[in-house]
């Protein structure tokens, strides 16, 4: 069973979601937004099959699936350090329920996409099911993703959420390793789209710190998942 626990319910907001994927782009970008916008945690997503583990970073608990809120831009940010592998449809249903409960005006997904081209820098593309939003992307110079396969939570959300406008930003990444440069490109594109006047340069300057932090957390999360898959185990680390 999966459910979202919200202790605050802002209305008519925009949801931004970032789940682990190519280059951890969505996770890094949403982490950056949480740290550089004034946000507060307003909830979390829980499900019984989630590994019984929690990461602690700088003496603070890092929620595996945290929900944060920025009042200035009326943004709800879903930040995931736990992949929803095998639970994509349940996650899509949960996001759809959050969108319905909050009367969300748009869901924006941040994703990395693998690229075989050895191009300098990461290009960013968009997909949206809303014509008005598509014109905004065209105006700010973010090209359409004309061909591609969208898998994981974003793919499930696109198929499961019907009434809410959905937009996706895809940044090219050339590695499965954490890619802060691609995440910075996606934050820059998101900033142009939403008009937040957000400085993404610290993400490039702190790239190594961000990447090492997430690599450590994700590695420990994966190790805990492997242990959980073998047997139920409780321990102190």
CA 123 centroid distance within chain: 18
- Domains in the chain, CATH or no CATH each: 2-226 (3.40.50.10900)
CA 58 centroid distance within chain: 22
Q: Indicate whether 98 pLDDT > 90.
A: yes
Token pair listed for 74:
């009326």
pLDDT, one tens digit per residue, over 138-156 is 999 999 998 888 888 999 9
The per-residue pLDDT for 232 is: 47
Of 33-47, 49-63, 113-127, the range with the highest mean pLDDT is 33-47
Q: Indicate whether 234 pLDDT > 50.
A: no
For residues 197 and 227, what is the distance between their CA atoms, to the nearest angstrom? 43
Q: Indicate whether 17 pLDDT > 80.
A: yes
Percent of the chain at pLDDT exceeding 90: 47
In this structure, what is the dihedral angle of CA atoms 191, 207, 33, 23, given to the nearest 10 degrees?
A: 80
Token pair listed for 174:
């050339």
The per-residue pLDDT for 95 is: 95
For residues 154 and 142, what is the distance between their CA atoms, to the nearest angstrom? 19
CA 165 centroid distance within chain: 17
pLDDT, one tens digit per residue, over 175-230 is 667 788 888 899 999 999 999 988 877 777 766 666 666 666 666 666 666 655 56
- Give a three-class secondary structure readout of the chain: CEEEEECCCCCCCEEEEECCCHHHHHHHHHHHHHHHCCCEEEEEEEECCCCCCCEEECCEEECCEEEEEECCCCEEEEEECCCCCCCHHHHHHHHHHHHHHCCCCEEEEEEEEECCCCCCCCCEEEEECCHHHHHHHHHCCCCECCCCCCCHHHHHHHHHCCCCCEEEEEEEECCCCCCHHHHHHHHHHHHHHHCCCCCCHHHHHCHHHHHHHHHHHHHHHHHHHHHHHHCCCCCCC
Question: What does the mean pLDDT of the chain come to?
Answer: 84
Contact 166, 109 (CB under 8 A): yes
Q: What are the residues facing 40 on neighbouring strands?
A: 69
Q: Indicate whether 235 pLDDT > 50.
A: no
Segment 80-105 shows an average pLDDT of 90
The per-residue pLDDT for 226 is: 64
Q: Indicate whether 101 pLDDT > 80.
A: yes
């Amino acid at each position: 069973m999966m459910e979202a626990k919200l202790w605050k319910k802002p209305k008519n907001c925009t949801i931004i979601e970032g789940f682990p994927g190519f280059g951890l782009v969505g996770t890094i970008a949403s982490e950056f937004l949480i740290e550089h916008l004034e946000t507060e945690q307003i909830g979390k997503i829980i499900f019984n099959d989630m590994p019984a583990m929690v990461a602690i970073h700088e003496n603070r608990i890092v929620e595996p699936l945290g929900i944060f809120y920025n009042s200035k831009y009326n943004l709800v940010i879903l930040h995931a350090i736990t992949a929803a592998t095998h639970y994509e449809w349940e996650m899509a249903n949960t996001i759809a329920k959050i969108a319905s409960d909050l009367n969300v005006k748009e869901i924006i997904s941040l994703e990395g996409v693998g690229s075989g081209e050895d191009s300098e820098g990461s290009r960013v593309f968009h997909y949206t099911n809303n014509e008005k939003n598509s014109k905004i992307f065209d105006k700010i110079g973010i090209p359409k993703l004309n061909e591609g396969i969208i898998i994981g939570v974003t793919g499930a959300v696109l198929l499961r959420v019907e009434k809410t406008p959905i937009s996706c930003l895809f940044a090219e990444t050339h590695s499965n390793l954490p890619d802060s440069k691609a995440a910075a490109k996606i934050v820059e594109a998101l900033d142009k789209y939403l008009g937040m006047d957000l400085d993404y340069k610290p993400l490039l300057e702190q790239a190594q710190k961000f990447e090492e932090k997430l690599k450590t957390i994700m590695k420990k999360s994966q190790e805990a998942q492997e242990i959980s898959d073998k047997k139920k185990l409780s321990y102190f680390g």
